[in-house]
């Protein structure tokens, strides 16, 4: 009986081995952890956003360096392109800040910690490069400062410490590092105190004003066609007369739809603030206006208020609460387009969406009063 049982067991084992040999080989590698995959994706998105932000910041410096020495027509062209580039820089900053304050998810916090490693110690960056991330660091410190997790609190503390170092850069670029910043020697931004001229020279090896102007060439024909200020003569006078005649004709045809400064009572100042709401500066502006009991009009960007989905459903963002505080303080909310894009280059349907989506978001924030619209990038 023992032998038969042993034989049966041997046959069973042999059969099992043969069957297992027929099965496809299983990988010995462990399946990728979902959390690790999410972390890698978030880190890549954050790194890409940081690179884009820094590129716009550097281009702004190269574009405006030595601008005062240019001829008037060139200065106007540079100023026009500078306005576009500045708003693009703001958009990149807001986008990166939104990514960093999306949640307190552990994978995101880990990715943010790695991004701070780069902001603090990337060897190819100058000290002044790190100033590009001041707004981003402020957003991190504010959002994660109230975190319920130890990782979030540490991240906020680290962001605040980095902001302190950047304040040192702003105050005196070549000043000695104060003793109070010694804690950054191991972890944080360590000042190398290079000269500003060295920094600009480095950037000129990466960008040129001519290429930046070319990249934003869509507005140059208008900017360069204007007569130089200070030159007298018939062409300048004729151009001014024609411009004034055009303005008068426009006012006559659209006086019920457009508002001009000369329609206000004498000695009247109308305060307007564009491109909000901002999570920090809008409230600071409200405090100043309250101190002087001054009313104002806040022209808001739809993308800063929230989103409107394909079904027309309003999805308020963090900025919607800021806009509600503007309204509650007695000021007026108005439309400044959704994306602050160059609307003269948009298709008509996109222009309508830019205005309509922002109107819906303003209504969702409780906007009251007459609807006002100021086109983005219209200056």
Architecture of domain 266-379: Alpha-Beta Barrel (3.20)
Residue 253's pLDDT is what? 46
- The answer, yes or no, to whether residue 7 has pLDDT greater than 70, is no
Cβ(375)–Cβ(343) below 8 Å:
yes
- On whether the CB atoms of residues 323 and 365 are closer than 8 A, the answer is yes
What's the rounded Cα separation, in Å, for the pair 215 and 276? Answer: 26
Whether residue 212 contacts residue 85, with contact meaning beta carbons closer than 8 Å, is answered with: yes
Residue 35 pLDDT more than 60? no
- Greatest alpha-carbon span in the chain: 124
Q: Is the pLDDT of residue 309 over 80?
A: yes
What average pLDDT does the structure give for the chain? 77
**pLDDT, tens digit, 9 for 90 and up, residues 132-178:** 999 999 999 999 988 888 999 999 999 999 999 888 877 755 433 33
Tokens of 233: 């003569």
pTM above 0.85, yes or no: no
CATH 3.20.20.370, the chain: domain bounds: 266-379
CA distance 97 to 279: 10
Q: What is the rounded CA–CA span in Å between residue 127 and residue 189?
A: 8
| Residue 273: its H or E element | strand 272-276
């Amino acid at each position: 009986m023992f032998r038969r049982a042993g034989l049966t067991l041997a046959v069973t084992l042999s059969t099992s081995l043969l069957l297992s040999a027929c099965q496809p080989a299983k990988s010995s590698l462990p399946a990728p952890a979902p959390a690790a995959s999410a972390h890698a994706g978030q880190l890549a998105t954050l790194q890409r956003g940081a690179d884009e932000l820094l590129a716009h910041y550097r281009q702004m410096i190269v574009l405006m360096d030595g601008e005062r020495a240019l001829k008037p027509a060139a200065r106007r062209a540079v100023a026009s392109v500078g306005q576009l580039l500045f708003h693009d820089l703001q958009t990149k900053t807001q986008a990166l800040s939104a990514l960093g304050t999306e949640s307190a998810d552990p994978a995101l916090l880990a990715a943010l910690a790695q991004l701070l490693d780069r902001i603090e110690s990337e060897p190819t960056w100058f000290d002044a490069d790190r100033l590009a991330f001041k707004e981003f660091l402020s957003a991190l410190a504010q959002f994660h400062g109230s975190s319920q997790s130890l990782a979030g609190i540490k991240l906020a503390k680290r962001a605040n410490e980095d902001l302190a170092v950047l304040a040192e850069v702003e105050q005196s670029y070549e000043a000695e590092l104060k003793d109070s910043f010694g804690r950054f020697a191991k972890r944080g931004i360590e000042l190398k105190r290079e000269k500003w001229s060295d920094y600009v020279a480095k950037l000129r090896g990466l960008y040129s004003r001519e290429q930046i102007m070319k990249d934003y060439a869509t507005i140059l024909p208008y900017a360069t066609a204007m007569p130089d200020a200070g030159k007298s003569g018939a062409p300048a006078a004729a151009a001014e007369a024609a411009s004034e005649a055009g303005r008068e004709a426009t006012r006559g045809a659209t006086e019920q739809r457009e508002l001009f400064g000369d329609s206000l009572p004498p000695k009247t100042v109308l305060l307007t603030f564009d491109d909000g709401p901002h999570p920090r500066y809008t409230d600071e502006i409200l405090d100043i206006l309250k101190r002087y009991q001054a009313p104002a009009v806040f022209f808001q960007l739809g993308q800063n208020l929230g989103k409107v989905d394909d079904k027309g459903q309003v999805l308020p963002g963090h900025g919607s609460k800021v806009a509600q505080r503007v309204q509650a303080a007695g000021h007026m909310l108005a439309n400044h387009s959704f994306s602050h894009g160059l609307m003269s280059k948009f298709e008509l349907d996109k222009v309508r969406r830019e205005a309509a989506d922002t109107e819906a978001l303003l209504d969702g924030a409780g906007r009251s009063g007459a609807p006002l619209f100021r086109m983005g990038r219209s200056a």
